[in-house]
């Protein structure tokens, strides 16, 4: 009877963790990318170019990258659940405040600060899951967390597109800020305290040695580069696809463009499918397949037919989130005692790729058009696929877990 009660408690705790982490993903990504579908409106309201308008997104992701650098050194000294809860609440308040500014420079500064605050969630979320969830369920747990990210990104983009079309961009930002504040409050109320982690202050030099170790191991460095390149491709396409669809020959109204972002549903499916398969098969081998499928979806985006663009976007989204799930699993599982440092660096590369590639690709699009824009992204994808080949060779079907021995 006692064993049965413990089993029920463990199942209930897993469900609570799963649901809370899902909510955190909803909030983080709804806030982080809410300006992405409103870039054309940023151009009209603030008199900026398409490349400059993308800074409203890149400022948030650049802030996330900066915050992750800080969190890589400080995350282990704070309770995981308290850090995530505080980050969700404070970022929501910053989002609400940004709805009342009429200065583009101030808006960018607020987005930068918001991204830095949200790093408190991303820096420890995967570490928390890896520590608190049974190993046999890690793939599923990570995929569900990333599904929350995906659904948050989709709902934020769709809501922002519709609300900005009907009531202006400020209304969209205000609404997402309020909803995120409610989600943050619910997260703080329900998240279970960690049982397998004790906050400890790690010396600065020790953290530097850990990070140097992680950045010089091909296993981790390969995943970091794949994360940066694939995320840069993904964000670039979603950043600028609305410009293509709103212009001739498509000339779609804003509410039809909003429906394009429902393709994020394909990303939820991609995360769950990849997570489930990675519990049974080699994630390093599956990574090859998801990157290849990204290329198929991107090829369809060159076919100037609406059905082909929708299908290509769905395939690319499915494959990207599969890639992200697999890469983040490889990092978190093989990091051993360095989970928070390893995942912080992973997210740092992820958001750095989003900021740098997302902005630079806009310059390519502005000067050379959609065809050259896609060619540039294909080159990045080819590099990521070549890197994945080296990872497959490195592992050769074997599992590694790096053991970090602290040095005084």
User: pLDDT tens digit string along 66-110?
Assistant: 898 888 777 777 888 899 999 999 999 999 999 999 899 999 999
pLDDT of residue 227: 95
How many whole angstroms from its chain centre is CA 392?
24
Mean pLDDT over residues 128-151, rounded? 75
Lowest mean pLDDT among 36-50, 345-359, 383-397: 383-397
CA distances from 332 to 2, 132, 211 (A): 32, 13, 14
Average pLDDT over residues 191-207: 76
Average pLDDT of every residue of the chain: 84
Q: How far is CA 186 from the centre of its chain?
A: 21
Greater model confidence, 183 or 148: 183
Structure confidence at residue 405 (pLDDT): 43
What pLDDT does residue 386 have? Answer: 93
Q: Look at residue 260 and tell me whether its pLDDT is greater than 60.
A: yes
pLDDT at 377: 97
The predicted model gives 154-163 an average pLDDT of 75
Instruction: Indicate if the pLDDT at residue 399 is higher than 90.
Output: no
State pLDDT tens for residues 283-319: 888 999 999 999 999 999 999 899 999 999 999 999 9
Torsion 62-177-322-318 (CA) sign: negative
CA 11 from centroid of its chain's CA atoms? 27
> For 99, phi and psi rounded to 5 degrees?
-70, -15
Q: How far apart are CA 222 and CA 224, in angstroms?
A: 5
- Residue 326 in this model has a pLDDT that exceeds 50: yes
Q: What is the pTM of this model?
A: 0.76
297 burial type by CB count under 10 A (0-12 exposed, 13-18 middle, 19+ buried): buried
Per-residue confidence band for 407, with pLDDT thresholds at 50, 70 and 90: very low
Residue 401, phi then psi, degrees to nearest 5: -130, 120
Using CA atoms, how far apart are residues 406 and 162, in angstroms rounded to an integer? 52
> Residue 42: what pLDDT?
86
Question: Quick one: what percent of the chain has pLDDT higher than 90?
Answer: 33
* DSSP letter (8 states) at residue 403: P
What are the pLDDT digits (tens) for 202-255?
777 877 888 888 888 888 899 999 999 999 999 899 888 988 888 888 888 867
Contact 271, 325 (CB under 8 A): yes
Q: Is the pLDDT of residue 2 over 70?
A: no
Structure confidence at residue 4 as a pLDDT band (50, 70, 90): low
Mean pLDDT calculated for residue range 164-171: 81
What are the DSSP calls for 1-36, one per residue? -HHHHHHHHHHHHHHHHHHHHHHHHHHHHHHHTTTG
**Mean pLDDT over residues 271-280, rounded?**
84
pLDDT (mean) for 364-368: 89
Structure tokens at 254: 């804003």
Whole-number Å distance between alpha carbons of 326 and 321:
9
**Confidence band for 161, pLDDT divided at 50, 70 and 90:** confident
Buried b / exposed e along 247-262 (16+ C-beta atoms within 10 A): eeeeebebeebbebbe
Q: Which residues contact 16 (CB under 8 A, 6 or more apart)?
A: 190, 191, 192
């Amino acid at each position: 009877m006692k064993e049965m009660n413990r089993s029920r408690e463990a199942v209930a705790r897993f469900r609570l963790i799963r649901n809370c982490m899902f909510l955190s993903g909803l909030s983080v990504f709804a806030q982080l990318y809410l300006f992405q579908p409103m870039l054309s409106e940023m151009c009209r309201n603030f008199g900026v170019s398409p490349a400059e308008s993308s800074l409203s997104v890149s400022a948030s992701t650049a802030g996330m990258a900066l915050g992750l650098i800080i969190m890589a050194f400080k995350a282990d000294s704070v309770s995981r659940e308290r850090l995530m809860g505080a980050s969700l609440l404070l970022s929501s308040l910053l989002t609400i405040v940004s709805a009342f500014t009429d200065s583009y420079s101030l808006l960018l500064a607020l987005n930068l600060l918001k991204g830095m605050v949200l790093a408190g969630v991303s820096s420890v979320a995967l570490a928390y899951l890896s520590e608190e969830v049974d190993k046999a369920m890690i793939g599923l747990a990570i995929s569900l967390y990333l599904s929350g990210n995906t659904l948050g990104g989709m709902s934020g983009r769709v809501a922002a597109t519709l609300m900005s079309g009907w009531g202006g961009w400020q209304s969209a930002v205000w609404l997402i800020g309020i909803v995120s504040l409610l989600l943050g409050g619910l997260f703080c109320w329900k998240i279970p305290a960690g049982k397998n982690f004790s906050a400890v202050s790690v010396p600065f030099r020790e953290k530097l040695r850990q990070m140097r170790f992680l950045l010089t191991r091909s296993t981790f460095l390969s995943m970091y580069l794949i994360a940066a390149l694939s995320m840069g491709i993904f964000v670039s396409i979603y950043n600028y696809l609305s410009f293509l669809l709103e212009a001739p020959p498509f000339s779609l109204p804003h509410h039809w463009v909003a429906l394009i972002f429902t393709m994020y549903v394909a990303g939820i499916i991609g995360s769950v499918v990849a997570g489930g398969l990675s519990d049974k098969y080699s994630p390093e081998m599956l990574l090859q397949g998801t990157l290849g499928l990204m290329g198929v979806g991107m090829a369809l985006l060159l076919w100037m037919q609406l059905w082909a663009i929708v299908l290509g976007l769905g395939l690319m989204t499915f494959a990207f989130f599969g890639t992200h799930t697999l890469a983040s699993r490889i990092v978190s599982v093989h990091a051993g005692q360095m989970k928070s440092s390893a995942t912080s660096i992973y997210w740092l590369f992820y958001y750095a790729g989003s900021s740098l590639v997302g902005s630079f690709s806009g310059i390519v699009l502005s000067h050379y058009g959609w065809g050259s824009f896609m060619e540039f992204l294909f080159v990045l994808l080819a590099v990521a696929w070549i890197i994945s080949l080296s990872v497959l060779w490195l592992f050769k079907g074997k599992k590694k877990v790096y053991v970090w021995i602290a040095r005084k």
